[in-house]
Amino acid sequence: MKLTFFGTSHGHPERGRYCTSVYFEHKGNGFFIDAGAPLVYLIKQKGIPYESIKAMFITHMHNDHTAELPAIANSLWYHKQVEYWDIFFPDENGIAGLDAWTRAQYNGGGVTNNRLIHPHVTTPGVIYDQYGIRVTAIRTDHVNNGALPSYAYMIETDDGKRVLFTGDLAYDFHDFPQIAKEEYFDLIVSELVHLAPDKAAEILKDVNTRLLIFSHLGAYNVKKLEEHNIRFNFPHVVAIDGFEYYVI
């Protein structure tokens, strides 16, 4: 499985960092975690064929993770791709909102009758098991103790690799998925903006992973990581836009 970090910023784009979207590819099929802008442009830039993309998993409805969804809907219609994308929304309001947006444009006919998008509402547990990818949604408490539906996603491949994406977490990281301390992961991709790096290190020190990649952060978080000279019990790197990693 190969990951490409399309956007690594936090709630707003920063110089050199677009908002959050991670692409991963397994056996020729493509998938996305989140749809931060300018995703449609980046798909074109990277030369990824629309028909190779199978599914998208949205962690929560905040704009920095979803702003490109109307453009995606329009782009699927424009490219007249043969197959559909499965898109998993954490909240049915997201489906209704995108549906209204696309209807207002009169060119996609709305999401619910647009065969190019199969919308789903994410619920805890296994939500997807196709193309050698099994995706499990884990509820998190990003805002107001879970008032806003938000999820971490665990990806397991048919060749035995396991990757965890935290999505956005609560301001004290109390919702960092417990499974990361109980089971081994080949890779964990964690946000690092809602808790200071030195405090996050306390929470993350028992995580059982081969590598931790921090994404969804700003330059000031990177600076704090360096200032505190934080040591983890495993290798860690800070992703920048365009960063690629092979889970082998």
Binding site for Zn ion (CB under 5 A): 62, 64, 168
Q: How far is the CB of 142 from Zn ion (least distance, A)?
A: 5
Residue 89 CB, shortest distance to Zn ion, in Å, is 15
Q: How far is the CB of 87 from Zn ion (least distance, A)?
A: 18
Q: Within 10 Å of residue 9's Cβ, how many Cβ atoms?
A: 22
Cis check: omega of the bond before 177, within 30 degrees of 0: no
CB 11 → Zn ion: shortest distance, Å? 5
Structure tokens at 78: 């424009």
Judged by beta carbon, residue 97 or residue 109, the one nearer Zn ion is 97
Yes or no: say if 136 and 31 are a contact pair by the CB < 8 Å rule. Answer: no
- Minimum CB separation from Zn ion for residue 69, in Å? 15
Given the complex with Zn ion, which of 35 and 116 has the nearer CB atom?
35
Contacts of 18 (CB under 8 A, 6+ apart): 6, 7, 8, 9, 36, 37, 38, 42, 241
Specify the residue, 17 or 62, whose C-beta has the smaller distance to Zn ion.
62
Nearer to Zn ion, 68 or 168 (CB): 168
Q: What whole-number distance in Å separates Cα of residue 127 and Cα of residue 63? A: 23
Nearer to Zn ion, 156 or 191 (CB): 191
Tell me, what DSSP letter sits at residue 14?
Answer: B
